Amino acid sequence: MKTILLAISLLFSVSLYSQKVTLLYVNSSWNKSNDYKHLDLLKNVKVLKVNYDDQPKKFKEQVKSVPAIILFDENNKLKRVWQGGLSMKLDVDPKEIQAMINKISND
């Protein structure tokens, strides 16, 4: 039984840490009606969701509008940012985001 649990733990940790790309999704509680609905379609990426309202001032100064999607490579280097703009809504095609994820993963 210990061996099975160890094997499952190992497989889980390998799959968890095999993601080379991290996607940070930022939105505010007052803008939930404009949540980006396509995050679940994205593959080979670790998705982190944060509430803009709970972030430190320095972070808020960098995010010009919500919602925002921010992509980082495995070294946490910023690779791409999409922001909602005046509409407070993201109109980016998930295929565009996936293409960027694939490009970062293959670099």
Would you write out the chain's pLDDT as a tens digit for each of its 107 residues? 333 333 444 444 444 455 699 999 999 999 999 999 999 999 999 999 999 999 999 999 999 999 999 999 999 999 999 999 999 999 999 999 999 999 999 98
CA 66 to CA 26: how far, in whole Å? Answer: 6
Tokens for 72, please give them. 């980082």
CA 23 to CA 25: how far, in whole Å? Answer: 6
Stated pTM of the model: 0.80
Give the CA angle between residues 87, 48, 103 to the nearest 5°. 85
How far CA 5 is from CA of 13, 14, 17, 18, 93, in Å, comes to 12, 14, 18, 20, 40
